[in-house]
Amino acid sequence: MESERQTRKKMRTKSGRFLILATCLCVFVLSGCGAGSSDPVVSTGTIHLNNLSNAAIDRFYLVPVADASLGADLIIDLLALGAAMLLPNINADSYDAKIGVNGRYSDYFAYAYDISIAAGTTIDLNIYDSSFTGSLEICNARAAGNITGVYLVPADGSDWGENQTSSAIGPAAVLHLYDLDPGPYKVRVVWDDLSQSIYGGAAGITIDSLTLTTLNVN
Protein backbone atom coordinates (compact mmCIF):
# COMPACT_ATOMS: atom_id res chain seq x y z
CA MET A 1 0.00 0.00 0.00
CA GLU A 2 1.27 3.48 -0.83
CA SER A 3 2.29 5.76 1.98
CA GLU A 4 0.60 9.12 2.51
CA ARG A 5 3.75 10.82 1.21
CA GLN A 6 3.77 8.76 -2.01
CA THR A 7 0.08 9.43 -2.61
CA ARG A 8 0.48 13.17 -2.11
CA LYS A 9 3.48 13.29 -4.42
CA LYS A 10 1.27 11.90 -7.18
CA MET A 11 -1.55 14.32 -6.41
CA ARG A 12 0.54 17.49 -6.25
CA THR A 13 3.10 19.02 -8.54
CA LYS A 14 6.21 20.33 -6.85
CA SER A 15 6.11 23.78 -8.45
CA GLY A 16 2.67 25.29 -7.98
CA ARG A 17 2.36 26.31 -4.36
CA PHE A 18 5.87 26.64 -2.98
CA LEU A 19 8.88 28.62 -4.00
CA ILE A 20 12.13 26.88 -3.13
CA LEU A 21 15.32 28.72 -3.96
CA ALA A 22 18.90 27.69 -3.40
CA THR A 23 20.88 30.68 -2.20
CA CYS A 24 24.04 31.60 -0.31
CA LEU A 25 26.50 29.02 -1.52
CA CYS A 26 29.09 29.08 1.23
CA VAL A 27 31.52 26.23 0.63
CA PHE A 28 35.09 27.43 0.54
CA VAL A 29 38.15 25.35 -0.27
CA LEU A 30 41.32 27.06 0.86
CA SER A 31 44.71 26.20 -0.51
CA GLY A 32 47.84 27.77 0.88
CA CYS A 33 51.55 27.62 0.82
CA GLY A 34 53.77 25.84 3.29
CA ALA A 35 52.11 24.82 6.59
CA GLY A 36 48.82 26.69 6.08
CA SER A 37 45.64 25.25 7.59
CA SER A 38 42.22 24.77 5.98
CA ASP A 39 38.70 25.41 7.32
CA PRO A 40 36.63 22.46 8.53
CA VAL A 41 34.63 20.75 5.80
CA VAL A 42 31.02 21.96 5.73
CA SER A 43 28.63 19.00 5.62
CA THR A 44 25.27 20.60 6.46
CA GLY A 45 22.88 23.12 4.94
CA THR A 46 20.15 25.47 6.15
CA ILE A 47 16.47 26.06 5.43
CA HIS A 48 15.22 29.65 5.56
CA LEU A 49 11.49 29.24 6.25
CA ASN A 50 9.47 32.30 5.22
CA ASN A 51 5.86 32.55 6.36
CA LEU A 52 4.23 34.63 3.62
CA SER A 53 0.74 33.36 4.48
CA ASN A 54 -1.95 34.93 6.66
CA ALA A 55 -1.76 32.20 9.29
CA ALA A 56 0.68 31.51 12.11
CA ILE A 57 2.61 28.30 11.49
CA ASP A 58 2.49 25.92 14.46
CA ARG A 59 4.43 22.89 13.22
CA PHE A 60 7.23 22.08 10.80
CA TYR A 61 8.29 18.49 10.21
CA LEU A 62 11.27 17.58 8.06
CA VAL A 63 12.36 14.04 7.24
CA PRO A 64 14.61 12.44 4.63
CA VAL A 65 12.65 11.24 1.61
CA ALA A 66 13.47 7.63 2.44
CA ASP A 67 12.13 7.96 6.02
CA ALA A 68 8.55 6.80 6.54
CA SER A 69 8.14 8.57 9.89
CA LEU A 70 6.79 12.09 10.42
CA GLY A 71 9.86 13.31 12.27
CA ALA A 72 10.18 15.83 15.09
CA ASP A 73 8.49 19.23 15.16
CA LEU A 74 11.24 21.78 14.52
CA ILE A 75 9.23 24.86 15.55
CA ILE A 76 9.43 25.79 19.23
CA ASP A 77 7.26 28.93 19.05
CA LEU A 78 4.68 30.08 16.53
CA LEU A 79 6.05 31.43 13.27
CA ALA A 80 3.90 34.55 12.93
CA LEU A 81 2.52 36.13 9.78
CA GLY A 82 5.35 37.59 7.73
CA ALA A 83 8.03 36.10 10.00
CA ALA A 84 10.96 33.89 9.04
CA MET A 85 13.23 31.44 10.79
CA LEU A 86 16.47 29.64 10.05
CA LEU A 87 16.72 25.88 10.45
CA PRO A 88 20.48 25.23 10.37
CA ASN A 89 22.69 22.15 10.55
CA ILE A 90 20.58 19.97 8.26
CA ASN A 91 22.54 17.06 6.86
CA ALA A 92 22.97 17.11 3.11
CA ASP A 93 20.15 14.95 1.71
CA SER A 94 16.75 15.12 0.00
CA TYR A 95 13.85 15.90 2.35
CA ASP A 96 10.06 16.08 2.58
CA ALA A 97 8.40 18.73 4.75
CA LYS A 98 4.99 18.98 6.40
CA ILE A 99 3.85 22.35 7.77
CA GLY A 100 0.89 22.66 10.13
CA VAL A 101 -1.48 25.45 11.15
CA ASN A 102 -3.91 25.18 14.07
CA GLY A 103 -6.82 27.29 12.82
CA ARG A 104 -9.75 28.51 14.84
CA TYR A 105 -12.12 25.95 13.35
CA SER A 106 -9.81 23.36 11.81
CA ASP A 107 -6.21 22.31 11.21
CA TYR A 108 -4.51 22.83 7.86
CA PHE A 109 -1.35 21.46 6.30
CA ALA A 110 1.14 22.24 3.58
CA TYR A 111 3.63 19.88 1.99
CA ALA A 112 6.91 20.26 0.14
CA TYR A 113 8.67 17.29 -1.42
CA ASP A 114 12.18 16.45 -2.54
CA ILE A 115 13.84 19.49 -0.97
CA SER A 116 17.49 19.08 -1.88
CA ILE A 117 19.84 20.22 0.88
CA ALA A 118 23.46 20.57 -0.23
CA ALA A 119 26.40 21.18 2.05
CA GLY A 120 27.04 24.86 2.64
CA THR A 121 23.83 26.11 1.02
CA THR A 122 20.72 27.86 2.28
CA ILE A 123 17.32 26.97 0.81
CA ASP A 124 14.51 29.54 0.89
CA LEU A 125 11.19 27.79 1.51
CA ASN A 126 8.36 30.29 1.02
CA ILE A 127 4.92 29.41 2.37
CA TYR A 128 1.79 31.11 0.99
CA ASP A 129 -1.93 30.89 1.76
CA SER A 130 -2.33 28.73 -1.33
CA SER A 131 0.26 26.27 0.04
CA PHE A 132 -2.23 24.92 2.60
CA THR A 133 -5.03 22.41 2.44
CA GLY A 134 -8.65 23.05 3.45
CA SER A 135 -11.30 21.16 5.43
CA LEU A 136 -14.93 20.10 5.03
CA GLU A 137 -17.52 19.67 7.77
CA ILE A 138 -20.58 17.59 6.86
CA CYS A 139 -23.56 18.20 9.16
CA ASN A 140 -26.53 15.86 9.41
CA ALA A 141 -29.48 18.27 9.14
CA ARG A 142 -32.20 15.58 9.24
CA ALA A 143 -34.45 15.48 12.28
CA ALA A 144 -34.34 11.69 12.07
CA GLY A 145 -32.01 9.47 10.10
CA ASN A 146 -28.39 8.45 10.36
CA ILE A 147 -25.65 8.87 7.80
CA THR A 148 -23.91 5.57 7.18
CA GLY A 149 -21.66 6.55 4.32
CA VAL A 150 -19.81 9.66 3.11
CA TYR A 151 -17.87 9.64 -0.16
CA LEU A 152 -15.77 12.58 -1.33
CA VAL A 153 -13.99 12.91 -4.67
CA PRO A 154 -12.84 15.72 -6.98
CA ALA A 155 -15.71 17.09 -9.06
CA ASP A 156 -14.38 15.45 -12.22
CA GLY A 157 -13.77 12.08 -10.54
CA SER A 158 -15.50 8.94 -11.76
CA ASP A 159 -14.80 6.65 -8.77
CA TRP A 160 -16.32 7.49 -5.37
CA GLY A 161 -13.53 5.75 -3.51
CA GLU A 162 -13.71 4.75 0.15
CA ASN A 163 -16.33 5.53 2.77
CA GLN A 164 -14.97 8.41 4.88
CA THR A 165 -16.84 7.49 8.05
CA SER A 166 -16.48 4.36 10.18
CA SER A 167 -19.61 4.89 12.29
CA ALA A 168 -23.10 6.33 11.88
CA ILE A 169 -23.56 10.10 12.02
CA GLY A 170 -26.78 10.90 13.84
CA PRO A 171 -29.05 13.97 13.62
CA ALA A 172 -27.18 17.23 14.32
CA ALA A 173 -23.84 15.35 14.41
CA VAL A 174 -20.95 16.26 12.12
CA LEU A 175 -18.12 14.63 10.21
CA HIS A 176 -14.96 16.76 9.94
CA LEU A 177 -12.71 15.94 6.98
CA TYR A 178 -9.20 17.39 7.20
CA ASP A 179 -6.31 17.92 4.83
CA LEU A 180 -8.15 18.29 1.53
CA ASP A 181 -6.41 19.73 -1.50
CA PRO A 182 -8.10 22.98 -2.58
CA GLY A 183 -10.48 22.63 -5.50
CA PRO A 184 -14.04 21.52 -6.41
CA TYR A 185 -15.44 18.29 -4.97
CA LYS A 186 -18.62 16.26 -5.11
CA VAL A 187 -20.06 14.44 -2.11
CA ARG A 188 -22.26 11.35 -1.89
CA VAL A 189 -24.12 10.76 1.37
CA VAL A 190 -25.69 7.36 2.11
CA TRP A 191 -28.45 7.14 4.74
CA ASP A 192 -29.55 4.28 6.96
CA ASP A 193 -32.70 3.83 4.85
CA LEU A 194 -30.36 3.17 1.87
CA SER A 195 -31.28 6.42 0.14
CA GLN A 196 -28.52 8.62 -1.24
CA SER A 197 -27.90 12.34 -1.59
CA ILE A 198 -25.41 13.83 -4.08
CA TYR A 199 -23.94 17.29 -3.56
CA GLY A 200 -21.70 19.39 -5.73
CA GLY A 201 -22.97 18.77 -9.24
CA ALA A 202 -20.82 19.72 -12.21
CA ALA A 203 -19.40 22.83 -10.53
CA GLY A 204 -18.56 21.00 -7.32
CA ILE A 205 -18.27 22.16 -3.72
CA THR A 206 -15.25 24.44 -3.48
CA ILE A 207 -12.63 23.69 -0.84
CA ASP A 208 -10.33 26.65 -0.21
CA SER A 209 -6.94 26.81 1.49
CA LEU A 210 -7.01 27.62 5.22
CA THR A 211 -10.82 27.42 5.18
CA LEU A 212 -13.41 25.14 6.80
CA THR A 213 -16.37 24.66 4.43
CA THR A 214 -19.65 23.51 5.99
CA LEU A 215 -22.13 21.31 4.10
CA ASN A 216 -25.58 20.71 5.64
CA VAL A 217 -27.04 17.49 4.26
CA ASN A 218 -30.61 16.23 4.48
Question: Could you write out the three-class secondary structure of the chain?
Answer: CCCHHHHHHHHCCCCCCEEEEEECCCCCCCCCCCCCCCCCCCCEEEEEEEECCCCCECEEEEEECCCCCCCCECCCCCECCCCEEEEEEEECEEEEEEEEEECCCCEEEEEEEEEEECCCCEEEEEECHHHECEEEEEEECCCCCCEEEEEEEECCCCCCCCCCCCCCECCCCEEEEEEECCEEEEEEEEECCCCEEEECCCCCEEECCCCEEEEEEC
**pLDDT tens track for 9-28:** 544 444 446 666 655 444 33
User: What is the percent of the chain with per-residue pLDDT over 90, rounded to a whole number?
Assistant: 72
The pLDDT of residue 25: 42
The pLDDT of residue 71: 81
The pLDDT of residue 41: 74
The residue among 9 and 203 whose pLDDT is bigger is 203
Mean pLDDT over each residue of the chain, to the nearest integer:
86
What would the mean pLDDT of 44-57 be, rounded to a whole number? 96
CB 149 within 8 A of CB 160: no
The pLDDT of residue 113: 95
Residue 5 confidence (pLDDT) above 90 = no
CB 182 within 8 A of CB 209: yes
Q: 4-131: which CATH architecture?
A: Sandwich (2.60)
Residue 31 confidence (pLDDT) above 80 = no
The pLDDT of residue 158: 87
The pLDDT of residue 30: 32
Residue 29 confidence (pLDDT) above 80 = no
The pLDDT of residue 15: 40
Residue 187 confidence (pLDDT) above 80 = yes
Q: Kindly provide the b/e burial profile for residues 169-195, where b requires at least 16 CB atoms within 10 angstroms of the residue's own CB.
A: beeeeebebebbbbeebbbbbbbeeee
User: Which residues in the chain are classed under CATH 2.60.40.2630?
Assistant: 134-217
Residue 164 confidence (pLDDT) above 70 = yes
The residue among 79 and 36 whose pLDDT is bigger is 79
pTM for the structure as a whole: 0.82
**pLDDT tens track for 66-117:** 888 888 888 878 999 999 999 999 999 999 999 999 999 999 999 999 999 9
For 134-217, CATH gives 2.60.40.2630
The pLDDT of residue 36: 53
What would the mean pLDDT of 141-161 be, rounded to a whole number? 95
How crowded is residue 144: how many other Cβ atoms within 10 Å of its Cβ? 8
The pLDDT of residue 14: 41
